[in-house]
Structure formats: structure tokens, C-alpha cells
Structure 1
Amino acid sequence: MSLRPGSGSAWATRKKSYKSGIDPREIRRRREEDLFGIRKNKRHDTLFNKRTQTHTTHSRNTFLEAISAMVDHICSEFPPAELEKTRHAEILSSLAAQCPSIDDVIEQGIVPRFATFLSRDDAPQLQLGAILILTSIACGSSQHKRVIVELGLVPSFVNLLSSSSNDDIKEEIVCALGFIAIDSPSYRDLVLNHGVLLPLLSLLNPLPRLSMVRVTTWTLYSLVRGKPPVNFEQVKPVLPVLHQLIHQTDEEVVADACLALSYLSEVSIDKIQDIIDAGVCPKLVELLHRCQSDKVVLPALRTLGNIVTGDDAQTQVVIDNGVLPCLCQVLTREYKKMIHKEACWTISNIAGGNRAQIQAVIKANIIPPLIQILQHAEFDVKKESAWAILSITVGGSRDHIRFVAAQGCIKGLCDLLSCPDPEVVSICLEGLENILWVGEADKEVGLHDSVNIYAQRVEECEGLDKIQKLLVHDNDEIFEMALRILKKFWPVLENDLEAILDLHIEPDGEEYILDIQIAR
């Protein structure tokens, strides 16, 4: 049974001895967690505040009292009445950010009437009033968005984005399209397939007012996120624009541009070179070094982490841009847990490269804070640190392994052997086994008085007792790893092992005889 995600058969091929050597590239791991969190809610709150700041005295009751009259006027043949009523609706649209108010608008059957106003190029205020209502609906629930989509308004929005000269109208349309796209991959693809990308990118050349830059950047992010991933070739033209946006001074713009890059960099491993060729690596590394905002650092770090899941040459580009000292700095700063976790994951993938890259990790003085995290951080951050140590022991030289052992990693690995996560136990056993093989090689050439000093250290850290207890673990792979380690490095325990192996107790209490015998 494979315990390591996304590695296929590579993880199932056990390391039979130190000299056998797993290909370091096989230990690199892709991230599957989604960074999507507060951005949608933040944009919703911004939109709501914008709409309500001058109309706070209106209540839902006022809206319900006025809605019948609004329907009468909205269907008037006279444009002035339409315009007057749309302005009235614009005032009341401050309530449309609340689900009951949106439902009231929809239930009255007036949304199609508002949709017809999109073509009124002769009355831009009428268009804007209608768009304000429609955008309020688009930023509602998935059911509310479906109303907009089923009315066929996506192509109308895209056309108006290209044809209108009114910046307020364009900004509202960009916002509406972003909310529709972020709802689901199918809506995202719908918006893209209607040709939104080029008119959207044209809004940023030259850069418009800040509010437009912010909403456009957020919408670009909305158009590239989601699983299944976006068609990379369809959105590839966004890369030079994102390169421009991460150089802006507005934190919100930079954060959303970094988020977009983080999603594009994980679309497919064979697209990593396109991300590198866009020239974003130097600025992303600079953001790690200079910026202390979590909402910028996290997606910048995720993008760099995705890049180093590529081959050694692609990883070297990130190293050459100075990422390792920045990662060391990130580990020692007071960031939230997720950032430390991402940093450890990135380090583990760099250490999954060649020996020169492992040496670069060590030279950057990353190992001491990494081991501090292994011993003292929260569990899921410890797990990523353990992966990084394992990467070094898999692909590193004997000197590299001696170094991480001397820094105190054995205790951290032993402490995690009793955790309930079988993947973590497997990682720690693998790392310890690799370290023990180096100790055994040193012992065989007469070093340390012909004693395996790492086996001694495992015992001092109560690791031996924990490994013995794993002989009754219900995960067969963990059982086999523990047995192999004990047989090789503690042969004096053979009689005790036989007694343990005579009977294996299943979790349900049933007994069965093991078919694994100790070699004699």
C-alpha cells in the first residue's frame, strides 16, 4: 500500500540499502491543498460596503413596500420613468447583497427587464443602474448566479466590456464576471469561452485607476483557479500581465496576482517552464524577503514551491534567485502555521534534487530551524519538516546525512513514531533507516569505536521501544519497515523479535500466524 500521495510506484520501491539510492526527483511532491479562502468573501464585503455606504437607512421592509411600484414603473414605455425607477432600484440595491433582497428581486420577475437595459448605449446611467442590480445578483449564491447565466448575460457582459467607454460600467462588469467565474470550474470555462480574457487584459494597458486594477486582478485570479484546472494554453496570455502586476505597490493587487500565479503553476508539471519563462521568479523571491504580509507571502511561496517540483534545472533557477536564505528567514519569522508548512514543503522539494542542491540547503543554514520545527511545531508542520529531512537522507551524501543527524533530527523523527498518522510514521522510519545505514557503514570501517552511534542515539531518544511497538501496527508496510530495521541494526533482539512475531494481534482481537520469518 502506498502511503505517499502522488508518487505512484516510486514510493513502493523500498530502499534496500544505503548504496541503492532512490532517484532524488522521485521524492518531490505536488501540493493539493487549495489556497482559496478569504478572497471571495473579501471581495463580497468590499462590494457590499461600496453599495451601502450612502444608503444605510433603507430597510428590507422599505424595499418590499416599494417593489410593486418599481415593477409598474420599470415596465413603463417611457425612458424617463425607466431611468427614474432604475435609480430607485440602484439605491435599494444596497439591500441586494443580502440573500432575501436578491430573492425578492428575482421573485418579482424583473431581472429580465433589467437585462434588456444592457443594450441601451444611449443611456449609460440606465445601463449602470441595471448592471449594479445584476452584479448584486451575481455576487450572491450559486442559485443566484445561475439566474444570470441562464438569462444568457455572460456574452452580453463580455460584449459590453469591449464596447463601453464608461469606466464605472466596465468595473461593475469585471466584478460580475469574476463572481460568476469563481463559482465553479464550469462557469469559469463558460466565461473564458466567451472571449473575456483579451478585453480584460486590455483594461490593464495602460494601468487604469486603482479600483479597476484591483477588481481586474481579482477576476483574473478567479479565471485561473479551480479543479479540474483551467486550460493553460487558453489563459497563457495572462502571464506577462501577472508579471507586471506583482511589481505593483498595492498589497491587494500583488496578493491576487500571486494567487493567480500559484494556480497556474500547479495546472501541470509540464507547464512549469512557462511560469519560469514569464520572469516572475526574481520578484517572487523578493516578496518573500521584503514583504511580511501573510496574504502576499503565502501565494508567492506556493508558486515557488510548485516550480521546484519540476526538474533539477527548474529548481536551480529558483535557487539561483536566492530563495534559500529567504526560506530560512521565513522559518524563523512569526508567520502563521500555513506559511511555515509551505516553506518546509518547498525545502523538501529542493532537497529532493541533486546533491549540489542539498548542499545549498545546508549551506543556507536551513537545517537548524527546520529541526526546531520538527521538534516543536504543530503536527502538520512537523510532518512537512520530516519530509524535508527524509529528502536529504534519500538523496544526500553520507556527509549530508551525518550533518542532519548531528543537528538533532533523530530525536524529532523518533518522537513522531508514536503518532497516529501512518504516513508520518513511514516517513520517520524511512529517514531513520537511512541514517542508521550511514552509522552502520561508519561502524564497519572502525569509526566511533566500531559502534553505530546513530543506533545508540535512537535508543537514547526512546526510538527503539517505539520501533518495537510498531511490530503490532495494523499497517503492513510499517510493520515490515520496523521489522527490517530491528533485524539489521539490533540483531541482539532476534529472540525477542521471534516471541513478538509468533503471534500478531489484529485490532479486532482475532489472532493469526505471520508468514514472515526471521532469517537465520
Structure 2
Amino acid sequence: MVFLDLFLQIVEKPVMVGHRVTCYSFTDQLAAGPLCPSHPREGWRVVVLEVCGSPHWQGVSMQHMVMVSCFCEQHFLRELDGLVFRRRPEFCDHMDVEILSPLFGTLYPWALLGSLQGLQLRVPAVVPGPHLQGSEKHLLHGGLFWASGQLTKGVSLTLQEIISGVNASDPDLCFQATQAVRKMVSQERNPPLKLIVEAGLIPRLVEFLKLSPHPCLQFEAAWALTNIASGTSEQTQALVEGGVIPPLVELLSSPHMIVCKQAVWALGSIAGDGPEFRDLVISSNAIPYLLALVSSTIPITLRNITWTSSNLCWNKNPYPSVKAVKQMLPVLSHLLQHQDSEVLSDTCWALSYLTDGSNERIGQVVNTGVLPRLVQLMSSSELNVLTPSLCTMGNVVTGTDHQTQGAIDAGMLNVLLQLPMHPESSIQKEAAWALSNVAAGPRQRIQRLIACAMLPLVALLKNGEFKVQKEAVWTVANFTTGGTRDQLIQLVHSGVLETLVNLLTIQATEIVKIILDVLSFILQAAEQLSEKENLCLLIEEMGGIDKIEALQLHENALNIIENHFSEGEESGTILPALDQDHEFLNA
């Protein structure tokens, strides 16, 4: 407790003043002294948890990493503000806080430096906001258990020493060499992946995955191979040719959570390289193991499982097999009920991949009953959840009319009609794209959209980025091709005509052609209602005739001039406005 007492004194002033604090301390020396600090602070709570000791430092590392990871996932995943550890020289070259950092999100590892009598807390000069915001703080104190056990001094190995160590028969030498490989390929900038592959180390690293009596060695090998899989396709191919997939799949059932999690990550990296390797992972029976992990009591991070599952759904050239999709959909449906934003994000992306295709593919997803939940997620304030849920629902409404109606029945339009005004242009674009597909439906559906969506659509056409304007133009085009004459009148009353005319000057041939088609449809409707002269006057007042004449290289523009404006220009006559039931100019 001397160390804990000093630790609490050190962190109080620079970090914890004015906060309620819960400090979790893990020790294998519970009987060595009192369980509470000698000078308790008001509003502070210390929780001391006992862990098992081990005669070997590798055992200490693995046991404690698993224990801390499990505890954190169960109690405050992504709510931890800091991980404080006592850095000992003999431990500097071995597993460190990097093992645990994925748990915490905003983790900053503070180090306690010096002897027990002269400890100082090294706090970063600038601490990112999330670490010190709020009224209640959580710290995880790792100094006690990392100071226990028999530690060995870390050494730096040359490539030749690594090759010798990897090929040694002594598991300790293999571990040291494999860890050195892992650290090399974990470098943030220019990791020497090619060097490791060309050194011929992959076959031995793959063999280490099979050594279940040595989970630390399995873990380091899996980590190193994961980082190699994040390299080029050629480097990933070297792993696959080295036989890495089957032992990684076997590790999905490892009793050691850290090893299991790393295997999930490695397989996800391999599957994400392309459809060939994705299908090899699937054919190695990985999906049932992943399903078992989701339903298991093992507290493995669902984020890794979801990300890997998403990669198994990705790529449509070719699509994953129908059998694989049928296996995946129940677990994706289950994960969609989770509350973690990263789990939800990757789950929605997986569903968006699966719906990006034929009506049959869309039907597989729709039939799971996930549409109401996806609609809920379209209201998320978190962009990483909103974007893929909107993409998925946008894919659904590209399907059959029955599938589109299913999306509407799930409440999609109520949410979708709010999204064109979202501050993110990417959301505006996706929302306009989804609306354009809904608009390609029956007239009753078009009427609802005209009544509710025209104001935001006009705003997008007037002020949106080009990618957004493009989708909004398609929406209006679908209104005109499927709507009635009265619905076209409503379009003119909505103010959309002026925005379309103004867009005739953009340098985008496809969009200009679509706008000319829309104008042609509206002019034809006006002619049938004996209102063409009034509409032509309105277009002329907007400067539309000059813009259309400037586009006479377009066949559509030439046709509009010849069919709708030539006679009016010659005679100069404008018909009087008709009654309000059939009038373009009066709202």
C-alpha cells in the first residue's frame, strides 16, 4: 500500500482536484498490508482487487492483461480517463500499455517515474479535453501488478538475432524474437513489413499460432501477423500462402481472451483485402466461431467481432455466398440492438454492403425485420452510425416497390425528410439520393414527397454542394416522369423552377441534360393545360431562355427552343391566366 498511497498523493493535485474519484488497484500481494490508503480523501473511493501471481513474467503479463481487459469491458468500457503505471527499466521492452489501449478510447498512459520515495507523475503538457472533463473520474492503477513476478531485462535484437531466435527450440527465445518482430511491424511510420516477409519468418510465426501451451507466444505471433496483413495485397497473400488462416480460425476458440481477440482482428484484416481472401476465411469455417463469440460469456470486445463480420460482408465482385450471408444475418441483427456506436456503425456498414445489389440480396436483409431499428439509427446524433444506417435504407428503396413500401411502413420517411437540412453535406447527399429512389414510385408516394420535401429540396438545389445538387435534380426528375400534371403544377409553385434554370450554367453535361428533360416535361404539361405561354413568360423572366439558347449544342435545348419558344417570340402574344385550378403562376 506504500506505493498506492504515494500514487494517490501524486495524482491528486495535477489531475483529480475537485472530482469524485474511483481508483481500481490490482495486486497479487493482498496480505502484505492494509487495503486502504493511510490518508483517505473526501469523495475518493479505492477498490483493491486481488489477482493471481505467477513464477514467470510472461504469465504475469498474460493473466493481468486478461483480467484488466475483462474488468474494464464489464464496468467502464471507453469511460476510463487514464491508465497509470510504474515504469520499471527491466520491463521497458516487454508488453506495455499498448496491449490495453484499445479498451479506453481516450486513453493517455501516464507514467510514474523514479523510486518509491521520489515518485513524480509525468502528465502531458496538453491533455486532450475528454480526459479531464466531467465531474467524476476513473483511474486504473497498474503499478502493483506490473511490479510483481519475475521480470527479465529487455534487449534489442538485430534481424539476424531475430531469425535465429524465431527458429530456436527454446520457447523463451522464440517469444523474445517474435515480440521483436511485432514491435518492428508495429512502427507507426514505414514498418519493415517487406523485410520481415523476405526474411522468411512467416512460416514460423504461423507455427507459433498452434502452440496452445504458450499463449503469450501465440498472442505476439498473431499481433505481428495482423500488422503484416494490414500491408500490401502481396504481403497479405504471403500470409495466406503461408497457411495463416486455419490456425487463426482455431484461435477463435482460445480460452485466452487476448489471443482470441487478436485472431479476430487478424482474420478481419485478411478478409478486408478482397473477395478472394474473404471467401477463404469464410470457407475455413470462421463464421460459426464468430457467432459463438457473440453469444459467448467471454467478454471479448464486440467491436473487433463486428468489424471482422463487416469485412466478411464487404465487396460485391463477387458477393459473399448466399450461405455465408444467411449465417451472418442473425448475428448482425443481434448486434444491431447494441448500444456501442462503433458496434452499431460496423453492423450498419455490413448491412449496407449486403443490400448493395439485387432485389434478392435486399430481400434477405429486409426479411430479418431490421428495418425499424435501422430507421431509429437514422436519427442518431453520431455521424458514424447515421451514415451507414442511411446508406442501408437508401439501398433498400432501390429495390422492389414492395421493399420500398416496407421501408416507408417502418417510418423511414418521417426521419428521411429531416435529413436534407443536416449540416453535413455527405448526409444531405445520401438523403437526396434516397428521396430520389422513393420518388420513383407510385403517384400517391410522389404526392407525399411533394407536400413535405420540396422546401428542403429547393434549398439543396439553391445552396448545396454540387454532389448534393446532383441528387436533388434526380429527385425532381423522378417527380416529373412519374407525376401527374397537377403534381407538376405543384412543383412549379414550390419554387423549384428557378433553381433548375440557374443550374443550367453548371459544367456537368449529364445534369444539364436531366434539367432540360425536366423543363421539357413541365412545358408539355403546361401545353396540355393551355398554360404554355404563361410558363414561357415565367422562364423568360428567370433568364431561362438565354441559358437554354446557350445550350443549343444539346439536342434537348434545341427541341425546347423550337417547340416552345419560337412561336411566342414571333407573335409576342401571351395568353391570359386561366382559373386557379389550372394555373402555373398562382400558388
TM-score category (smaller protein)? 0.7 to 0.9
Match in the other structure for 2:427: 339
Range that drifts further, 75-84 or 321-330: 75-84
The 1:454/1:49 distance shift into structure 2, 3 A limit, reads farther
Report the equivalent of 1:72: 164
> Is contact 2:257-2:298 (8 Å) kept?
no
Q: Kindly indicate whether residue 354 of structure 2 is the aligned counterpart of residue 273 of structure 1.
A: no
Question: How big is the shift at 1:322?
Answer: 1.6
CA-to-aligned-CA distance 1:420-465 (integer Å, 9 cap, x gap): 211101110111111112222222xxxxxx5643222211111112
What is the TM-score with the length of structure 2 in the denominator? 0.68
Equivalent AA in structure 1 for residue 389 of structure 2: A
Q: Judging changes above 3 Å, is the alpha-carbon distance between structure 1 residues 53 and 369 closer, same or farther for their aligned structure 2 residues?
A: closer
The yes-or-no answer on 1:136 pairing with 2:227 is yes
1:456 aligns with 2:537: yes
Shift of 1:240: 1.9
Question: Are the aligned partners of 2:226 and 2:266 in contact in 1 as well (CA < 8 Å)?
Answer: yes
Deviation per residue, 1:176-204 (Å, 9 max, x gap): 11111111222222222222112112211
Residue 480 (structure 2) aligns with: 393
The residue that corresponds to 1:33 in the other structure is none
Aligned-pair distance for 1:89? 5.0
Displacement after TM superposition at 1:64 (Å):
7.2
SS at match of 1:236: helix
Equivalent position to 1:419, from 482, 503, 506: 506
Q: CA RMSD, aligned part only?
A: 2.8
Contact kept? 1:302, 1:342, Cα under 8 Å? yes
- How many angstroms apart in 1 are the aligned matches of 2:546 and 2:298? 66
1:406 is aligned to 493
What residue number does 1:305 align with?
A: 394
User: Whole-Å Cα distance in 2 between the matches of residues 244 and 326 of structure 1?
Assistant: 23
Instruction: Tell me by how many angstroms 1:325 deviates.
Output: 2.3
Q: Give the direction of change, closer, same or farther, for the CA distance of 1:143–1:98 in structure 2 (3 Å limit).
A: farther
Amino acid at match of 1:178: G
Question: Paired residue for 2:173?
Answer: 81
The amino acid that maps onto 2:448 is: A
Count residues with an aligned counterpart: 428
TM normalised by structure 1 equals 0.76
Give the equivalent residue in structure 1 for 2:326. Answer: 236
Relative to structure 2, which stretch is displaced further, 416-425 or 229-238? 229-238
Counterpart position of 2:312: 223
- The whole-number CA distance in structure 1 between the counterparts of 2:292 and 2:541 is 65
Cα distance change, pair 454–229 in 1 and its aligned pair in 2 (3 A): farther
| Structure 1 position 49, deviation (Å) | 6.3
Q: Secondary structure at the match of 1:204?
A: helix
5+ residue gaps in structure 1? 1-45, 57-61, 444-449, 497-520
Provide Cα deviations, 1:24-75, integer angstroms capped at 9, x if missing partner. xxxxxxxxxxxxxxxxxxxxxx99965998899xxxxx99754333333332
Question: In the aligned structure 2, how far is the partner of 1:89 from the partner of 1:403?
Answer: 68
**Alpha-carbon deviations, 1:376-420, whole Å to 9, x = none?**
111121111011011111111222211111011111111122222
SS of equivalent to 2:315: coil
The answer on 1:351 being equivalent to 2:442 is no
From the two aligned structures, give the one with the greater helix fraction.
1
**Aligned residue number for residue 204 of structure 1:** 294
Q: Which secondary structure state, in structure 1, belongs to the residue aligned with residue 294 of structure 2? A: coil
Equivalent pair of 1:97/1:139 in contact (CA under 8 Å): no
Equivalent residue for 1:118, pick from 197, 209, 222: 209
Identity %: 34
Does the 8 A contact of 2:397 with 2:434 survive in 1?
A: yes
State the AA in 2 paired with 1:459: E
Deviation larger for 306-315 or 484-493: 484-493
Instruction: Give distance in 2, aligned partners of 1:287 and 1:230.
Output: 25
Question: Which ranges in structure 2 are unaligned for 5 or more consecutive residues?
Answer: 1-97, 112-153, 572-587
Distance across 2 between alignment mates of 1:120 and 1:198: 22
Q: 2:469 aligns with which of 370, 382, 386?
A: 382
Contact 1:96 1:133 in 2 (8 A): no
Q: Does 2:249 correspond to 1:158?
A: yes
Equivalent AA in structure 1 for residue 212 of structure 2 = D
Deviations 1:263-320 (A, max 9, x none): 100132332221111111111111112x122221111111111111112211111111
Q: Indicate the structure with greater strand content.
A: 2
- Partner residue, 1:485: 560
In the alignment, structure 1 residue 148 sits paired with structure 2 residue 239: yes
**Higher relative contact order, chain-length normalized (CA < 8 Å, sep 6+):** 1
Whole-Å separation in 2 of the counterparts to 1:97 and 1:132: 14
Q: Which residue of 1 aligns with 2:273?
A: 183
